[in-house]
Amino acid sequence: MSAPVSKSPATLHDVAREAGVSLATASRSLNGSARKVNESYRLRVVEAAQRLGYTTNLFAQAVAKGSTTTVALIVADIADPYFSSIAAGVIDAAGNENLVVTIAVTGRSSERELDTVRALRGQRPKVMILAGSRTTGSPYEEHLRAELSSFEDTGGKVAFISQDAAPFATVLLDNRGGARDLAIALAGLGYRRVAVITGPAEIRTAEERLDGFRTGLAEHGIPLLPEQIIHADFTREGGYRGTQELLASGAPVDLIFAVNDVMAVGVVSALRDAGVVPGQDIGVAGFDDIPTVRDITPALSTVRIPLEDVGRHALRLATGTATDAAAVQQAVSTETIIRGSTPPRDATAG
Amino acid sequence: MSAPVSKSPATLHDVAREAGVSLATASRSLNGSARKVNESYRLRVVEAAQRLGYTTNLFAQAVAKGSTTTVALIVADIADPYFSSIAAGVIDAAGNENLVVTIAVTGRSSERELDTVRALRGQRPKVMILAGSRTTGSPYEEHLRAELSSFEDTGGKVAFISQDAAPFATVLLDNRGGARDLAIALAGLGYRRVAVITGPAEIRTAEERLDGFRTGLAEHGIPLLPEQIIHADFTREGGYRGTQELLASGAPVDLIFAVNDVMAVGVVSALRDAGVVPGQDIGVAGFDDIPTVRDITPALSTVRIPLEDVGRHALRLATGTATDAAAVQQAVSTETIIRGSTPPRDATAG
DNA sequence: CTGTTAGCGCATTCAC
DNA sequence: GTGAATGCGCTAACAG
């Protein structure tokens, strides 16, 4: 017994024949164009298509029209809530414009990022959105820019999320300002001996947040010495290990700022595992306001970034749907959020 | 001054001309085929391509070959860690086979799911992976199956994640068995008065877990009465509200089982907000073992599903890369994980 | 092994 | 308005 022969999908040609009209008429009545086809014909075509289970072959359409309906999104790690929230926003906005989004991950490797961009160009996406944070000093950065420029030269559009990546469109995250505001708020709560757990030095987002935080502290006359800064992976594990390292050093601390929430979550767990009560013995703050930080104990103080909006923004910026037509950069406002992880210091300190 | 004219991307034709060879030779040396082209020619072609910044137009390639390198992944909500973890697995496995994955979200609407599948068919993906859990009694289910069957008839392959969706390939999640084992473990710890916060009745995953849990309890002679079962949204908020409802009812409970971790997280927060200490006053357990449940307090007891593996599995199942060639269904083993949210009852109860 | 030619499925310009 | 013919970028026979 032979397996059922796999028929190939119905083509526009089939539909036209079934409806007894020409290929051209079928095309016109099914897919856009300056519609000027007799309603009765149109109906017959639509019905024939229905009967045959016809679906436009987007690839073929793309080849014929020379343009696609694809947007490529490149993230470091889709399982990271930071990126998955942004992805949700991008996908949502894309849906509104009838665009399909393909997602690729780089695992935070600049090399893979470059490879990915190159591979994705084969898709001839209408736009490419790079959500990973930029690194400094990577030998691939330059090639990446070249690749992206070439992509734009050939009709594509790219949008970055994070820091300024001129000449490309960018949804600017105010890392410095947000961190500065947070530092000021925290200083106002009475924290004085702070440590920062940051990411690898090449990650610009980490550096900017560290820098902004330092600035804010300085405004309150609080120093941030090199030994109070610990570099670790930009992940939950990084935050965890960084905290262990900090604790081991015996440095007196009343506050730990982790440059992103995912790390901060690791900080909180590490503290607890070490018998230190987060929020009580030591304050903890993060950055991003990912969904889970409301649910850990104590709830985490952080800097809110409207992640989904950022994703939506990026897409609209790239497709030119953004209301602010001229804007090639859109800054997103951040908001300091104080929760239980950083109670007023004078009230809780021993 | 005029804006730079957007050149169109270099075509294979351009490359061939630049290299002084025929179109066919260029094609052969650049993209696969049974390679048998003179090395010196190949080199010239490759260099020319490099010089022109040529990238294969995957769309055109797809049209010509009649097959694509796309896999479509359909999830309820990409920002939900359950789905984003699965997505990470799918993307990872896809990368190994040089496949690009496009993601679409349904927001848990069967109607949108159907629409999405239809739309995605236009992409002529090699495989379609449906990760959302199935619903029962939806008028769209039938249409969905028809659409998917038609998709398979025309050469596509579909894979489901969750419950049996014959005749389609499925990565089977042992919801019943996992929940049963959990119930048994929990009963063994001394819990007796349990409540379950489950999802909408149409969601099969929720029903299966509820059912399995009930079975496990029954084996210990513990009943699960209707009034001890609360239906809520399949989300964090659902868990939160369901708990409020439960608390308001005044029913005496020593354990709450939420049918998924995301809901369980809501349960824990609701308890805490109500002044009830989770894990101490009332035990809490979930299902899935999403990453964050390790980091909430107390850490959540749950049933572990290797989410990323599930994603990888699904892809391999669909592409036929699965080692177990004959398998059209792959069951994934679950593991009961007891953490701080369900300490031995006799030791903690007042 | 290389070049020529004919499609792939669709959009579109051009006559009718 | 409608249909026939051409081309999009590429692959796959097909000859040389």
The whole-angstrom separation of Cα A307 and Cα A260 is 13
**Strand D positions within 7 A of protein Cβ atoms:** 1-5, 7-13
The CB density around residue A332, as the number of other CB atoms within 10 Å, is: 17
Q: Is the CB of A64 under 7 A from strand C?
A: yes
> What is the full DSSP assignment across B174-216?
-HHHHHHHHHHHHHHTT--SEEEEE--TTBHHHHHHHHHHHHH
The residue-averaged pLDDT of B315-328 equals: 74
What is the model's pLDDT at position A320?
86
> What is the full DSSP assignment across A262-311?
HHHHHHHHHHHHTT--BTTTBEEE-SB--GGGGTSSSPPBEEE--HHHHH
* Distance between A317 CA and the closest CA of chain B, angstroms: 19
Q: How far is CA A114 from CA A86, A105, A120, in A?
A: 21, 11, 10
Residues 6+ apart with CB under 8 A from B63: A57, A59, A60, A63
Given a cut of 90, whether residue B4 has pLDDT beyond it is: no
- Return the H-helix or E-strand segment holding A252: none
- The confidence band for B97, taking pLDDT boundaries of 50, 70 and 90, is very high
**pTM of full prediction above 0.75:** yes
- Return the H-helix or E-strand segment holding B53: none
Q: Is the model more confident about A125 or about B32?
A: A125
What is the model's pLDDT at position A328?
64
How confident is the model over B63-93, as pLDDT tens digits? 999 999 999 999 999 999 999 999 999 999 9
- Closest CB from B4, B68, B70 relative to A153: B4
* Chain B: residue whose CA lies nearest to A4: B153
Question: Are B63 and A68 a contacting pair at CB < 8 A?
Answer: no
Given a cut of 70, whether residue B325 has pLDDT beyond it is: no
What is the model's pLDDT at position A348?
46
Instruction: List, chain by chain, residues whose CB lies under 7 Å from nucleic acid strand D.
Output: A 21-25, 36-38, 41, 63-64, 66; B 8, 11-13, 23-24, 27, 30-31, 33, 54, 56-57, 60-61, 63-65
List chain A pLDDT tens, one digit each, 350 residues: 444 566 789 999 999 999 999 999 999 999 877 768 899 999 999 999 999 999 999 999 999 999 999 999 999 999 999 999 999 999 999 999 999 999 999 999 999 999 999 999 999 999 999 998 788 888 899 999 999 999 999 999 999 998 878 899 999 999 999 999 999 999 999 999 999 999 999 999 999 999 999 999 999 999 999 999 999 999 999 999 999 999 999 999 999 999 999 999 999 999 999 999 999 999 999 999 999 999 999 999 999 999 999 999 999 999 987 655 445 667 799 999 999 999 999 744 44
- The confidence band for B315, taking pLDDT boundaries of 50, 70 and 90, is very high
Q: Is the model more confident about B31 or about B226?
A: B226
- The confidence band for B199, taking pLDDT boundaries of 50, 70 and 90, is very high
**Strand C positions within 7 A of protein Cβ atoms:** 1-13
Question: Are A295 and B265 a contacting pair at CB < 8 A?
Answer: yes
Q: 3-class DSSP state for residue A22?
A: coil
Rounded to 5 degrees, what angle do the CA atoms B315, B80, A71 make?
65
State CA B335 to chain mean position distance: 18
Burial class (CB in 10 A: 0-12, 13-18, 19+), B320: exposed
Residues 6+ apart with CB under 8 A from A135: A110, A141, A202, A203, A204
Answer whether B243's CB lies under 8 Å from B198's CB.
Answer: no
What is the model's pLDDT at position B124?
94
Q: 3-class DSSP state for residue A25?
A: helix
The residue-averaged pLDDT of B233-239 equals: 97
The whole-angstrom separation of Cα A322 and Cα B342 is 50
Work out the angle between the directed axes of helices B39-52 and B23-30 (0-180°, nearest 10).
90
Q: Which of B33, B71, B104, B56 lies closest to A123, judged by CA?
A: B56
- Closest CB from A7, A81, A154 relative to B153: A7
* Distance between A306 CA and the closest CA of chain B, angstroms: 13
- Closest CB from A58, A236, A297 relative to B296: A297
Given a cut of 50, whether residue B210 has pLDDT beyond it is: yes
Q: What percent of chain B has pLDDT over 70?
A: 94
Q: 3-class DSSP state for residue A316?
A: helix
Q: Is the CB of A69 under 7 A from strand C?
A: no
Question: Are A122 and B294 a contacting pair at CB < 8 A?
Answer: no
Q: How many CA atoms lie within 13 A of B232 on its CB side?
A: 28
What is the CA B38 to C1' C2 distance in angstroms? 9
How confident is the model over B108-122, as pLDDT tens digits? 999 999 999 999 999
CB pairs under 8 A between A and B: 164
Nucleotide nearest to A66 in CA–C1' terms? D8
The whole-angstrom separation of Cα B192 and Cα B342 is 12
Nucleotide nearest to A124 in CA–C1' terms? D9
Output the average pLDDT for chain B.
Answer: 92
Question: Are B154 and A68 a contacting pair at CB < 8 A?
Answer: no
Given a cut of 80, whether residue B5 has pLDDT beyond it is: no
What is the CA B21 to C1' D13 distance in angstroms? 19
